[in-house]
Amino acid sequence: MTPPSFHRLVDEYLSVRRGLGFDLETPEWQLRNFASYTDRIGHSGPLTIECSPCSHSPADQLVRLVAKACRQRC
């Protein structure tokens, strides 16, 4: 079975958040850019800090945010 693309996971994450009435603290474009990056590098499986384009950047928080959402849906 092929793992879902990160774009699909971001779409699901945004849909759930909006459905629950939560505002986004992270701009949607950042989530979509990160999804493009992970799909481009061919990453599959759990998100780790190594997935971050820069290990000491705001992207680290984004990785943690998306990883937490993915863990909660499994």
- Please write the tens of the pLDDT for every residue from 18-69: 899 988 777 788 888 888 888 888 887 777 766 766 655 566 666 667 777 7
The count of domains in the chain is: 1
**53 falls within a domain:** yes
Q: Domain containing 40: what range? A: 6-73
15 against 49, higher pLDDT: 15
Rounded Cα–Cα distance for residues 20 and 24 (Å) = 11
3-state SS record for the chain = CCCCCHHHHHHHHHHHHHHCCCCCCCCHHHHHHHHHHHHHHCCCCCCCHHHCCCCCCHHHHHHHHHHHHHHHHC
Rounded Cα–Cα distance for residues 62 and 45 (Å) = 16
The pLDDT of residue 10 is 87
**1 falls within a domain:** no
